[in-house]
Amino acid sequence: MIKIDYTSSKAIYEQIYDEITRLILSKALKPDDKLPSVRELAAMTKINPNTIQKAYKVLEFENYIYSVKGRGNFVKSSDDLRILHINKLEEKLFKTIKSLKELGLKNDDISKMVDNILISN
């Protein structure tokens, strides 16, 4: 379910966040599915419960999940989340293109870069 790369420079809570958002957006986790409790996920992944809790807090803050007191954490509607995620990625793409232009690349050069990426995927 959740893969952690201990050699990555990315913080473990961020990796958990990324993995859960991936599962939600790919619809492996459906709306209103219950996530494992903090302790369950900590035991499954052998990660400190505080780290899991931090990831869950960020997921809730970013509106990927919601919590019900005494019952646990649940997945929000994936259609709304998909739109939210696409908007975030569009913002990242905008910043990347802006950085490339600041480095002196022309629109044609950037378009060729994007075309090469699209062809290779």
CATH of the domain at 54: 1.10.10.10
Beta bridge partners of 72: 68
Domain assignment present for residue 1? The answer is: no
Average pLDDT over residues 74-102: 87
Tens of pLDDT along 33-70?
999 999 999 999 999 999 999 999 999 998 899 999 99
Residues 70 and 32 in one domain: yes
Its pTM stands at: 0.70
Residues 21 and 67 in one domain: yes
Instruction: Take residue 90 and report the two structure tokens written for it.
Output: 């569009």
Tens of pLDDT along 31-40?
999 999 999 9
Q: What are phi and psi of 10, to 5 degrees?
A: -75, 135
Residues 17 and 69 in one domain: yes
Overall domain count for the chain: 2
Confidence of residue 87 (pLDDT cuts 50, 70, 90): confident
Rounded distance between C-alpha atoms, residue 120 and residue 40, angstroms? 39
Domain assignment present for residue 5? The answer is: no
- Whether the CB-CB separation of 101 and 110 falls below 8 Å is answered with yes
Average pLDDT over residues 85-101: 92
